[in-house]
Amino acid sequence: MPKGYWVSVYRAISDPEKLAAYNKLASLAVQAGGGRVLAIDGRVVAYEAGIAERTILIEFESFEQAVAVRESEAYQEALAALSGGVERDFRIIEGLD
């Protein structure tokens, strides 16, 4: 079964306090959902008008699990804490088997 991945690239962080509150809550939701952080705030090289800002990659055992955690009550609470604090591109993708 192919794994699922959260890919999040931040364009701008306008409220670091909201981001800190989100990080605490989101970490708990991801851990509870079986997610594993593969990369966060590491070195980034952006090509073709890409964004070399905060980038996060989280792996789940399946695409369905990744979607379920994103839709979970715990993660929705994290999103509420983040509300308006950042501009980002968040995607869930299915890995290759």
Per the model's pLDDT, the better-predicted residue between 22 and 50 turns out to be 22
Residue spans of the domains in the chain: they are: 4-94
Query: What band does 17 get if pLDDT is binned at 50, 70 and 90?
Result: very high
Calculate what percentage of the chain has a pLDDT beyond 90: 82
Q: Tell me the CA distances in angstroms from 16 to 4, 5, 7, 20, 28, one per residue in order.
A: 28, 25, 20, 6, 19
Q: Is pLDDT at 12 greater than 80 in this prediction?
A: yes
DSSP class per residue in 35-76: -EEEEES------TT---S-EEEEEESSHHHHHHHHHSHHHH
Burial class (CB in 10 A: 0-12, 13-18, 19+), 97: exposed
- Per-residue model confidence as pLDDT tens digits over 56-75: 999 999 999 999 999 999 99
How confident is the model over 30-34, as a mean pLDDT? 97
Q: Is pLDDT at 50 greater than 80 in this prediction?
A: no
Quick one: pLDDT at residue 44?
81
Domain 4-94 has what CATH class? Answer: alpha beta
Quick one: pLDDT at residue 38?
96
Question: What stretch of H or E contains 82?
Answer: helix 73-82
Burial class (CB in 10 A: 0-12, 13-18, 19+), 28: middle
